[in-house]
Amino acid sequence: MFKPLNTYVILKKIEEKTKKKDKPTILIPDTFQSDTRPTEKFKTFKLVAVGNCCRILSGDDIGKKVLVIQNSVDKIKTEEQEDLFLLSETYVVGIIE
């Protein structure tokens, strides 16, 4: 298991409910990577682990939803787990209870 150090936290993506839209569909190849920034500044994630030097978040907050600044999140992939996201505690805006 990957354990964050210092003030880093590990997040897990929350599956978003897809809304039906009446917009046309555009097919994009799987290999396409956009250079544009995310359209929304904030995103909600599930808190998975906290670093040993975190001052605001603690082990009691694990499992809670947190609102973070989206462009500060880095995706990491470990051998034994699905995609996780790494973020400095500084970029957590709040806890959603």
On average, the pLDDT of the chain sits at 86
Grade residue 81 by pLDDT with cuts at 50, 70 and 90: low
Instruction: Give the integer Cα–Cα distance in Å for 70 and 88.
Output: 12
Residue 35, pLDDT above cutoff 90: no
pLDDT at 92: 96
**Could you tell me if 17 and 33 are in contact, meaning their C-beta atoms sit under 8 angstroms apart?**
no
DSSP type of residue 25: P
Q: What is the pTM of this model?
A: 0.74
Domains and their CATH numbers in the chain? 1-14+40-97 (2.30.33.40)
